[in-house]
Amino acid sequence: MNGKNIILGVTGGIAVYKSADLCSKLVSAGFDVRVVMTANALRLISDRIFLTLSKHPVLTDLFSGLQPRPEHVDLAEWADLLVVAPATANFLGKYATGIADDALTTAALTFRGPVLLAPAMNENMWNSPIVQDNLAKIVEKLGVRTVGPDTGHLACGTSGKGRMAEPADILEAVKKTFSA
């Protein structure tokens, strides 16, 4: 998959630990990966992990640098695919309603290529009619694809649907996107 560029969006869900493994797998598969993290993601995992794994600076703030052109626009034009893992209920709500208040949502709304989301949240959140409506809106209007969520043990201590798909499964979905 050499020559393919991926934005990996990382949000503030507890499944963020799987995102580091996904980043590593994507790079090992030959993709050029640039990571964009939300403020809540940074509260759970360090951007230095993604810097090391991707070999690129991590975009965490819309106003962190002095570029003549906004970084989120450059990234959106550079990328062949946007992957958001985990895709939290918060991210889905913002994306579905066009709220662009951080580096990830602005990059996502600027990006015009294929998008793959890996939802991850508590089962009650996942089953919320509002979350389902937001996801349906994204899929219908933007043609976004999803992988997961899976069923199993959740961080809140219950079992149910809401686990982020395994990084290997997300990698396979990424490969399918490029071979379609």
Of 156, 160, 161, 166, catalytic: 156
23 carries an active-site annotation: no
**Dihedral, 17, 106, 89, 146 alpha carbons, nearest 10:** -80
What CA–CA distance (Å, rounded) separates 11 from 74? 20
Tokens representing 178?
């490029």
Q: What single-letter amino acid sits at 34?
A: R
Q: What single-letter amino acid sits at 172?
A: E
**Residues counted in the chain:** 180
Contact 60, 44 (CB under 8 A): no
Burial class (CB in 10 A: 0-12, 13-18, 19+), 42: middle
Which residues are part of the catalytic machinery?
156
